[in-house]
Amino acid sequence: MELREFFPAGLFAGKTVFVTGGGSGINLGIAKGFAALGANIAICGRTQAKLDGAAKELEALGAKVSARAADVRKPDELNAALSACRDTLGPVDILICGAAGNFLVPAEKLSPNGFKTVIDIDLIGSFNAARLAFDQLAQTRGSIIFISAGMAHMPYAYQLHVGAAKAGIDRMMQNLALEWGPHGIRVNSIVPGPIAGTEGMKRLGGEDHERRGGLGVPLGRMGAVEDIAKAALFLSSPVADWITGVVLAVDGGSGLAGSANFNASAAALLAAQVR
Ligand code: HXC
């Protein structure tokens, strides 16, 4: 990652970054960005083996790492991971709430438990992480970034559950920015566009999108994990120290183009699955 061309190498030296869902994908990419700029990293997720692999990648970048399995739906597990982080790396300066679950399903086939599961992971899991990290963040006068999605701001077909959860996240983000500003805590969201090579793309028909070279993205290409990492680094840096309560779309302009391309790719993927 060439981040040191854009940011000073020690920008986050001595800082502790806690990333939920940090074992893979966009979240691991964000964690690696912070590690490359001197931060120490705590990651949690459901699968210890996945976290252990990610920890090795982060350590290779020079970070001290705390990698402890915790499901964001389970406050006790999350509390244990946050305590382990504080004990080994120091209190959290930057919290990234990235853990998410997703699948394509037509609304009339979405079961009550399927809807609840995504609300539990994305919305309630993000609340749990922010709420349980509050004492540490108040101590460091830290910041929070929620990983939202375009579905929060525009309907995407077969994504009712995700849209409801992510819209909730973006409203919660603003509420926390309002209430926790006086504690010195900044709170923002990032809305990633289509990011090549991620689990989300695979699940949502994005491989078709990738084959077509980012069709419907005004800037003419799919995103890379590093595009999201750069935005997270900016929002967490002193350069952004008067920015709170914003939703930053990092999507090559794709939110401007509507959801029609997504809806077509997703419909094709669902049709292929029933065949
Ligand atoms: C319909 C489904 C389903 C599917 C699960 N369910 N998959 N319904 N279509 N494909 C339903 C189940 O039937 C069940 O309801 C309920 O959801 C819970 O399913 P479980 O498998 O028991 O849940 P769990 O083991 O907790 O798994 C959570 C999960 C899973 C979300 C369902 O997919 C997961 O763990 N995902 C994590 C990884 C992931 O999704 N990453 C991508 C994030 S991308 P019933 O009624 O049968 O009990 C992302 C990007 C968004 O978020 C924006 C992109 C642009």
Q: Which residue has the tokens 């209190």?
A: 91
> What atom in ligand 1 is closest to the CA of residue 192?
55
Compute, in angstroms, the gap from residue 104 CA to the centroid of ligand 1. Answer: 9
Reported as half-sphere exposure (CB side, CA atoms, 13 A), residue 220 has a value of 0
Domain boundaries, the chain: 10-274
Report the pLDDT value the prediction gives residue 200, as an integer from 0 to 100: 82
2 close to 233: Cβ distance less than 8 angstroms: no
Report the pLDDT value the prediction gives residue 2, as an integer from 0 to 100: 76
Amino acid occupying residue 105: V
Amino acid occupying residue 91: P
List, run by run, the mean pLDDT of 10-residue segments along the chain (275 residues): 84 98 98 98 98 98 98 98 98 98 97 98 99 98 98 98 98 98 99 91 73 78 96 98 98 95 92 83
Distance in angstroms (rounded) separating the CA atoms of residues 245 and 206: 29
Distance in angstroms (rounded) separating the CA atoms of residues 39 and 255: 31
Report the pLDDT value the prediction gives residue 248, as an integer from 0 to 100: 98
Provide the 3-class DSSP secondary structure of residue 131.
Answer: helix
> What atom in ligand 1 is closest to the CA of residue 118?
31
Q: What is the pTM of this model?
A: 0.96
| Domain 10-274 falls under CATH 2.60.40.10 | no
